[in-house]
A and B are shown apart, each in its own frame.
Chain A
Amino acid sequence: MPSRSTTNVVIAGLGGQGVLTAASILAEALFRAGFDVKQSEIHGMSQRGGSVSSHVRFGDKVFSPMVPTGQADFLVVLAVDQVDVARPMLRAGGMLVEPSLVESKQLTSKRSLNVALLGTLARHLDVADPLWHAAIAATLPERLHAANLRAFAIGKMP
């Protein structure tokens, strides 16, 4: 069992890559698993192709919605060129989840890379698959469910 003290996840990428969607799915899955959850992000200017990041924190009781710099247990980066930008968020010994960890050839669309990387992240979180599936279904429009459930499964495969 993982500790229920606050765990920090940062998801980073570029505007349009689905950073905020991935964070919403993650937060929803953790909420369904019974954690206190906070998700925080900056909208606005970031929507025009610039760097975007979203913070998700969970545990028994979460206070600040923002992950302190250098304290992310997991850093999920959707764009290879954003790894260096986001890396200062990661704590020493924290885990970097990056696109190279996913068999991208297996993805039918690169638009579902965000959800595939959530699958990779899910290997390390105490959240059962049905909760992830429910979170994907609750967050995305129905026509995207099948493709994203598949992407999640591809990312989750060891």
Chain B
Amino acid sequence: MGNYIATTASEQEDMLAKIGVSSIDELYGMVPQQLLVDKLALPEGLSEIEVRAAMEDLAAKNTVFNIIFRGAGAYDHYIPAIVKQIAAKEEFVTAYTPYQAEISQGILQAIFEYQTMICELTGMDVANASAYDGASAAAEAATMCRDKKHNRVCIAATCHPDTIETVKTYCFAADCEFLIIDAVDGLTDAAALETIAEDTACLIVQQPNFYGLIEDAAALADKIHQKGGKLVLSCNPIALGLLSSPAEVGADIAVGEGQPLGLPLSFGGPYLGYMACKNSLMRSLPGRIVGETTDADEQRAFVLTLQAREQHIKREKALSSICSNQALCALTAAVYLAVVGSSGLREVAEQSAAKAHYLAARLCAIDGFELVYKGEFFNEFVATTPISAEKLLLELEKAGILGGYPLSNNTILWCATEKNSKADIDHLIALTERAVSQCD
């Protein structure tokens, strides 16, 4: 059993004597006696060897797929070795929020660099130090847009289902009206925006959307702006290496799931909600923000700033209660972006898109496989399957491949990244052809 306690029994005796009590129990004198528990139903502690074995047993009950064609909000991109090494540095891992600027310049500068990179990717003026994940970032962005005169949040039906659910939950909390904007052919129906009332706070759109399709974000921005609302665009950050930035299409707030930037899949978290906005919304942006200033010797220095927005000062008047965020994930994303650079990020995006289009072409050459939507897609697409999705995916699973995400029994959302080689895709196609022929 380990407990990481650093005092010996005799030291503890000395300490009790200094305090002036005779036992540790005496220190709990304020606790009503009837509340003291004798012994909880917890297991005995384990040695490191035992605990490793127990946890390895649990890990072994999961199937690790070496070849993944599933995205749907979590993407299997390559993580360069140096990204993992740097993110494991103990000074970063074991620090708290950088309240003491003098001894936290490293973390503060790393976050400042991250904020700069997010502004570069999105084209926005200001970024925060992160939110919990992409879905909650979208919900926080909706809160930024709401005021007394604008208390309706619209979200495109083509957003990730978890994002829709999360925004809906935040709206329930805030007693704010929540409206889903329908899609036509897998794309947000701009005409549906005609009918919404003028007191709408915002429209949330995902780019590329849940089905992998590229939305006409500029048209949606125009429409929602005509209604006096703001456009919140939730972008896959890898796609931003190649496709139009949120600023270029007229978005007011850019958010998204930063997991593709060097974070492991880890069964869904921790991930990274990035958030950036126009200058005019700066003081509504939630969470930590690092700013540049100078110190007493006129040297460049970094500090947490604009803190009057935050819960520890504004308390019940704060727009968000966020305190801890995903700082280490933000640092990881910054390292990833520095490793790949601008051309590298574009290359990751281009390769992911090329592989997905190759996969789509090969797949749809098989009878019964067809693209469900005709729109332009990035690295994900929805295709029909002539045999049950469950059966096809099981066949792939037997070969160690995690196939696409089944949306129904005859449609699958496929994904490819730069990690999927042509050989992997050809292998997937061969297995699929065999599975189909076995069912004939």
Partners in one complex: no
B interface vs A, CB < 8 Å? none
A interface vs B, CB < 8 Å? none
